[in-house]
Amino acid sequence: MDRRVKYTQKVIKEAFIDLLEAKDIKKITVSEICEKCDINRATFYRYYLDVYDLLDKIEEDFVNEVKAASLTNTEYTVGSFARDLLNAFFKNKDLAKVLFYTNNNSTNFLNDIMSLAYEKCKEKWQKDIPSLPDEDVEYATSYIFNGALGIINYWIANDFNKSVDEIANIIATLAYFGTNRFIYKRK
């Protein structure tokens, strides 16, 4: 892709994320985005159908970034996947805040991340425990993912106050050992 195209798409996305931090997506217009990044509407429409398409593309790029990072891991663990996801959020702090703390939170985005986590867990657990029913994988991944989502939510709300490794370790400890080891390890 041409350097100018990448730059233009980057400034459009940044302007949009800035606007999302201040207002609901329903109140954001293409004209506002164009004015904020000093482009004309035709340039915007060259890349995106509307503001919802722009949000979809931003979420898709984020999910692809997490997928690409997780492909480099040869040995999947809850901790390694959490680390990949957390690094992507940390690298894209403004986007993370918008995805979690505005009314624009997209269930498609979270479902895409959940699907990726599910496939990784299923692949690993079927290799390690071939007799494990798919339904048990579904329950376990739902438990782990939803708990991790709460932890990530808290981390973002506290302005990324702990390192990626600390949060990944918290998620992995709770996923593998539950609250008992996490809470009582300090005794």
Q: Per residue in 84-111, pLDDT tens?
A: 888 888 988 888 888 776 545 555 677 7
**Percent above pLDDT 70 for the chain:** 90
Q: Which CB contacts under 8 angstroms, 24+ apart, belong to 16-21? A: 16/51, 16/54, 16/55, 16/58, 17/58, 17/94, 17/95, 17/98, 18/94, 20/55, 20/98, 20/102, 20/104, 21/94, 21/97, 21/98, 21/102
Q: What is the pLDDT of the chain when averaged over all its residues? A: 84
Query: May I ask the CATH class of domain 53-184?
Result: mainly alpha
**pLDDT for res 73:** 64
Do 1-48 and 53-184 show the same overall fold? no
**pLDDT for res 56:** 87
Q: pLDDT tier at 161 (50, 70, 90 boundaries)?
A: very high
d(CA 11, CA 62): 16
**pLDDT for res 21:** 85
Please give the full DSSP string across 40-87, using - where no structure is assigned: -HHHHHHH-SSHHHHHHHHHHHHHHHHHHHHHT-SS--HHHHHHHHHH
User: What does CATH list as the number for 1-48?
Assistant: 1.10.10.60
Q: Where are the domains of the chain?
A: 1-48, 53-184
CA 8-159-55 angle, 5° bins? 35
Q: Per residue in 118-158, pLDDT tens?
A: 777 778 788 888 888 888 888 888 888 888 888 988 998 89
Please give the full DSSP string across 13-42, using - where no structure is assigned: HHHHHHHHHHS-GGG--HHHHHHHHT--HH
